[in-house]
Amino acid sequence: MPPKQKTDRKEIIETAFSIVRKMGIEHLNARAIAEGIGISTQPIFSNFKNMEELKDEVRTLASKVYFDRLKREVEEGKYPPLKARGMGYVKFAMEDGNLFKFLFMNKRREGKAFPTDDITEEMRLIESSLSLRGDESKRIHALLWFSVHGIASLIVTESLSLTEDEINTALTDIYEGLKLRFENE
C-alpha cells in the first residue's frame, strides 16, 4: 500500500490563493481546493477550523501582493510618494482584479480588521505634504480614498477604461482641488 500523502496548511493556502487570484472569491470552496491539490476535503478541515480562517490566510497573502505593488510604485520614483500609492492602488486593480475585489469590494465581517486597513503611511504623507493634522488630514485622506477607490472600482468592473496618463491627470486634479479647498479654509 503506498504511503498516505500529507497535505499541509501552506499547500492549502497557496491553492486557495491561486483560486481567488485566477477566478475570484466566489469560486473558493473546499471542493475546488481539494480538486486543485488532488485530495479529499478532509485535510482542509483538519488544518482549518472553517473556511473563514482559510480566507483570512488568503487575505494575508493578497495583502502582501497589494503592499508589494504599492512599494514597487513608490520605489519607481515616477510620482511623488502619495500619488504613487494612489497609482499603485489603481494599477493593482488593473493587474490583479480578483485580488482587488477580494480585498476592497467584498463584504467585511464586523469588527474584523484587515491588513489593508492600516492608513498610517498615507496619513504621514498627507500631513507632511500639506502641513495638516488631525481631522483635516483624515478628511483629505477619506476624500482622496473615495476618489482613488472609485476610479479603481470602475476600472476593475470594466465600467471605465483609462490610460495611466489619464489616471495620473485625474489624481492630480483631485489632489490639487482638495489642496486648494483646505488651504482656503
The CATH number assigned to the domain holding 6 equals: 1.10.10
Statement to judge: residues 98 and 166 lie in one domain: yes
What pLDDT, on a 0 to 100 scale, did the predictor assign at position 5? 55
Residue-level pLDDT at 52: 93
Same domain, 78 and 133: yes
**Among residues 3, 12, 25, which one has the least CA distance to residue 96?**
25
Residue 59 CA to residue 112 CA, distance in Å, equals 12
- For the chain, how many structural domains are there in total? 2
Whether residue 102 is found in the same domain as residue 154: yes
Supply the CATH number for residue 121's domain: 1.10.357
96 SS3 class: coil
Rounded CA gap, 61 and 67, in Å?
10
- Same-domain pairing of 32 and 112: no
Q: What is the pLDDT along the chain (185 residues), one digit of tens a residue?
A: 444 457 789 999 999 999 999 999 999 999 999 999 999 999 999 999 999 999 999 999 999 999 999 999 999 999 999 999 999 999 999 999 999 999 999 887 777 777 888 899 999 999 988 887 788 889 999 999 999 999 999 999 999 999 999 999 999 999 999 999 887 76
Question: Does residue 108 belong to any structural domain of this protein?
Answer: yes
pLDDT (0 to 100) of residue 15: 98
Q: Which amino acid is at 167?
A: I
Q: Is residue 86 part of a domain?
A: yes
Same domain flag for 86 and 177? yes
Please indicate, yes or no, if residue 53 is contained in any of the structural domains.
no
Pair 33, 15: CB distance under 8 Å: yes
Residue 58 within a domain: no
Q: CA–CA separation, 97 vs 146, rounded Å? A: 18
Specify whether 18 is located in the same domain as 83. no
Domain limits for position 9: 1-48
- What pLDDT shows up at residue 2? 45
Q: What is the pTM of this model?
A: 0.90
Are 89 and 23 in a shared domain? no
Residues 6 and 83 occupy one common structural domain: no
Helices (H) and strands (E) in the chain, counts: 9, 0
Q: Please check whether residues 78 and 41 belong to one and the same domain.
A: no
146 with 98, same domain? yes
